[in-house]
Amino acid sequence: MWSPPIKALTDEALNGNPGELQSLSLIGLAAFEEHRYQDALKYWHHALAEMGSDHPSHAALVQAIGKARNGLSADEKNNNLTINHVAGLPPTPLKVRVDISPEIFEKVALDDSVFVFVQTLSGSKVPLATIRLKVSSLPAEVEFSGADAIVTSNTLSQTAAIQVTARVSRGGKSRSGEWLGRSSTTLNSKSARLKLTINLPDI
């Protein structure tokens, strides 16, 4: 049964390791059982981005995501609400153009994973939102909004100063890799744009 002590333990685990699969799966399951399907999708999509396609839980998680999507669609049909309204998250678009320097491009494989994630500059380092790409798709423009936030209590629309990181990870893990690029900005009620180039070793 989901309880405050379990929530405290999972929050602590995610603060130490934002990609901790068991905690992401448990929080997503708790949200699903409470019919908070959009929240479940955020946690489960983040977990899916952390695990490889050969992970033993991959197929089950994909199936769970499908069920959450079905539940969300039913809520929208019955309540005539948009996805953002269901989640209680006002949209604050942040568009990020992600590129990779020619020098780094020569040192990576086209199939290497690229994680683009948003973090607040102060407080918890659990990503606010994460998108997974491949090196082969660069340059690419991605868009984040409040609807993409992983933790609803700490959304893009409520966070003024943020840092966006793009990390190339040959092993497919968002927390460790070989190369990265970073940029910071301040969000407000207007759309924000960033240009991000992967050009530094991930030390």
Contacts 24+ apart (CB under 8 A), 21-25: 21/47, 21/50, 21/51, 21/57, 24/50, 25/57, 25/61
Q: Which domains does the chain have, with CATH numbers?
A: 4-87 (1.25.40), 94-201 (2.60.40)
Tell me, what's the pLDDT at 75?
44
CA angle 195, 198, 203 (to 5 degrees): 130
Edge-to-edge strand list for the sheet holding 113-120: 129-134, 113-120, 161-169, 179-186, 200-201
How many Å apart are CA 188 and CA 14, to the nearest integer? 27
Distances (CA, A) of 70 to 131, 188, 203: 22, 33, 41
Tens place of pLDDT for every residue, the chain, 203 residues? 667 777 788 877 777 777 788 888 888 888 888 888 888 888 887 787 777 667 788 778 888 887 887 776 644 434 333 333 333 333 457 789 999 999 999 999 999 999 998 887 776 667 777 888 999 999 999 887 655 555 444 555 555 678 899 999 998 887 888 999 998 877 654 557 889 999 999 87
Torsion angles phi and psi, residue 44, rounded to 5 = -70, -35
Q: What is residue 154's DSSP assignment?
A: S
How many Å apart are CA 36 and CA 72, to the nearest integer? 8
Claim: this prediction has a pTM higher than 0.75: no
Both tokens assigned to 5: 């002590």
